[in-house]
Amino acid sequence: MKTFILAFSAVSPVLAGFDTWSPPGPYDVRAPCPMLNTLANHGFLPHHGKDISREVTENALFEALNINKTLGSFLFDFATTTNPKPNATSFSLNDLGNHGILEHDASLSRSDAYFGNVLTFNHTVFEETKSYWTDETVTIQMAANARQARINTSKATNPEYQMSELGNAFTYGESAAYVVVFGDKTSGTVKRSWVEWLFEHEQFPQHLGWHKPTEMFQEGDLNRYMELIQNLTNTEQPGPGCPQARSLKNKRTRRA
Ligand code: HEM
Ligand code: MG
C-alpha cells in the first residue's frame, strides 16, 4: 500500500502551486475578486471554489502571497457574511457576489449589478480602469484616480447606484491590494503588465517576472495604503490655509 501511495504521488500532478493552473470547469464557482479566482485556478484555494474554511483561506493567502494569518482570518470573517446559511463557517466564491454585502457598484473590472453579471470579468469596464494606469509602473496615485473615475462613471450612468460604508471601505482596500499586496509594499507600486495579466487571465504572471512577495503583508500595511488612497483622492483641493480647503477636508473626513 505504502509503495502504491509513493508510486502514485510520484506520477500524480501537483494540485496547488505557481506552476499549476487551470481555468474553472462547468461546475466550479468563481468570485468578483480577481485574486481569489487566481488562487482557485492555481489550486491554492479549492479549484471548485466551494465551502472554503478559515484554515484553507489563511493558508492560501499565506502560501501564495505572504499575507499573515491574522489578516487572512480577518478577511475570512467578512467572506462568511456573504454565505446565505445562518452562522456559516465557510463560504463559496460565488457567495461573494451577493450584491450589497461586500460586492459593490463601481468595480474596476466588473459590471454594476444593475447592468449585468457582477462575477465575471467585463472588458469595457476594465478598459476604463486601465486608462488611468498611465505608465509601465502603476502608482498608488494612479490607483486612486482609477477608483474615483469608476465611481464617477457609475454615479453618472447607473440609476440604482449604491455604495455602503463597508462597500466604500472595500473599494479602498481593493485598490490598495492590487498595488501593494500583489505588487511592492515598500515602493507602493506594481508593474502594469503584471496587474493587467492578473485581472485579464486570473493567473499569476510569473512569465513576466512576478514572484511571491518576500515580505510579510499585515493589516497595518493595508490600513496605511487605504488611508493614502483616501488622501490622494480628489486632488483638486484649494491650497493649504484656505478656509474652503479646511471645510472640504472636514466634510470628506465626516463622510469617510
Ligand atoms: C474584489 C473579497 C482577497 C484584490 C473583491 C470583491 C470581494 C472580495 C467581495 C468584490 C468587490 C466588488 O468589486 O464589487 C475578498 C476576500 C478576500 C480577498 C473575502 C480574502 C479572503 C483579496 C486579495 C487581493 C484582492 C488578497 C490582492 C490583490 C481584489 C481586487 C478587487 C477585489 C483588486 C477589485 C476587483 C474589481 O473591482 O473589479 N474582493 N478579496 N482580494 N479583490 Fe478581493
Ligand atoms: Mg462589484
Residue 235, pLDDT score: 56
Closest ligand 1 atom number to CA of residue 103 = 14
Residues above pLDDT 70, as percent of the chain: 86
Please report, for the chain, how many H helices and E strands are present, in that order.
10, 2
Task: Strands of 53-193 (E only): list them.
Answer: 137-139, 189-191
Best residue for ligand 1 mutational test, from 29, 30, 35 (most atoms within 8 Å of Cβ): 35
Read off the pLDDT of residues 68-99 as tens digits, 9 standing for 90 and up. Answer: 999 999 999 999 999 999 999 999 999 999 99
CA of 33 to the centre of ligand 1 (A): 4
Residues 6+ apart with CB under 8 A from 35: 65, 177, 178, 181, 182, 198
The residue with greater pLDDT, 170 or 249, is 170
Q: Is the CB of 36 under 6 A from ligand 1?
A: yes
CA of 113 to the centre of ligand 2 (A): 7
ipTM for this prediction: 0.99
Residues 6+ apart with CB under 8 A from 86: none
The average confidence (pLDDT) of the chain is 89
CB atoms within 10 A of CB 225: 22
Residue 234, pLDDT score: 72
Q: Is the CB of 107 under 6 A from ligand 1?
A: yes
Q: Is the CB of 147 under 6 A from ligand 1?
A: no
Read off the pLDDT of residues 104-147 as tens digits, 9 standing for 90 and up. Answer: 999 999 999 999 999 999 999 999 999 999 999 999 999 999 99
